[in-house]
Amino acid sequence: MTITRQIKSAAPRPRLWVWVGLLTLGTLALPGCFLQEQTRAKNQRELGVAAYNVGNYEQARIHLNNSLAVGAHDFRQNYWLGMVELAQGNPLAAQRQFEYAWTVRQDDKEWTPKILDGLAESLYRQGRVEALHTFLAETATRYGTTDAYLREAEYLLQTGDPDGAQTAYQKAARVSGQDDPAVYLAIAEFYESVNDVPNAVTSLRYAYYLDPDNKDVAQKFRQFGIVPGPTLRLPPPQPDLLDE
């Protein structure tokens, strides 16, 4: 008796070059997809910023959340969401957005000061004065920059500590390199706020020395009834600006 066995033919194995080709196509597609995500996220973020700038905060929130949903995460999405939360009276939610942005952008000359400004404002609006003062002191010590000390001075003044504000302004002047008129303009405004007009004018003269074409300085002089002119220019002192 003859037994006939049926043997199924094995499916042909794909050749090596086929697998390599498929792998290559997949690999090439990944960067393209990522770039598309980045582009969509950027477009949504820019639409959100544009909406924020015209006061359309709900529309700004929608676009910024869409930007996050795309998956190509960028710290600027959190920063602008924080600004939206502040504008809509949600300082705690704003704080969380700014804190996240700070964790991923701690040493950016352009963005870190903006993020820290937002974080300070969110603490201030929550009425968390002690936490705010601690934050200001720690960031001023950590960064040691003009903007860090000016931020500290501004909020110390707003929370009822003019002496601490004066010290912070002095530190800002010391680290500014004596070449930043904005520092002396801020100090002039501080003196004006405590009704010390002579020192306010002196600070304006320092700013005027550094930048005689500064329109803000000229306008401030005129508010005090003074016509700007070359004789008003006064070199900033070294190293102290304010009396202890």
Q: What pLDDT, on the 0 to 100 scale, is given for residue 33?
A: 61
Name residue, tokens 């995500």. Answer: 37
What is the predicted pLDDT for the residue at 7? Answer: 36
Note the pLDDT of residue 72.
Answer: 60
Amino acid of residue 225: G
Measure the CA–CA gap between 136 and 150, rounded to whole angstroms.
10
pLDDT at 31: 57
Contact (Cβ atoms closer than 8 angstroms) between residue 81 and residue 61? yes
Amino acid letter for position 106:
Q
Cα distances from 226 to residues 35, 177, 186, 219, 222, in angstroms, run 56, 27, 18, 9, 5
Residue segments in the chain with a per-residue pLDDT below the cut of 70: 1-35, 71-72, 238-244
3-state secondary structure of 222: helix
| Rounded-to-integer distance, Cα 204 and Cα 227, Å | 12
Buried b (16+ CB within 10 A) or exposed e, 48-67: bbebbeeeebebbbebbebb
Q: Which pLDDT value is given to residue 5? A: 40
- Note the pLDDT of residue 32: 56
